[in-house]
Amino acid sequence: MIAPVAVMINILGDRVGESQVKKLSKALQIKNVTVHIYGKQQTKIKRKMGHITAIEFTLKKAFTKASMARIFITI
């Protein structure tokens, strides 16, 4: 581990259709947040399309950062 705490949040599809990643750059502006998009061409409801990882010194801070990043991203 490179930090005391790491949090991962899945990015799940919320519609059916062609995947179009939007606002990724906004999520990546959050310090210590990384986003992994799996490159799937089609999205489906609840299909795992990627994940967000945040590292911090406390669980609350890591979860807050990962959650903020998830709010920005749409697929």
Full residue range of the structural domain in which residue 10 is found: 5-72
Number of structural domains the chain divides into: 1
pLDDT of residue 2: 78
Distance CA 22, CA 30 (A): 16
Contact criterion met (CB below 8 Å) for 72 and 37: no
CATH number at residue 52: 3.30.310
pTM of full prediction above 0.85? yes
pLDDT in tens, the chain (75 residues): 778 999 999 999 999 999 999 999 999 999 999 999 999 999 999 999 999 999 999 999 999 999 999 999 999
Residue from 75, 21, 56, 39 nearest 66 by CA: 56
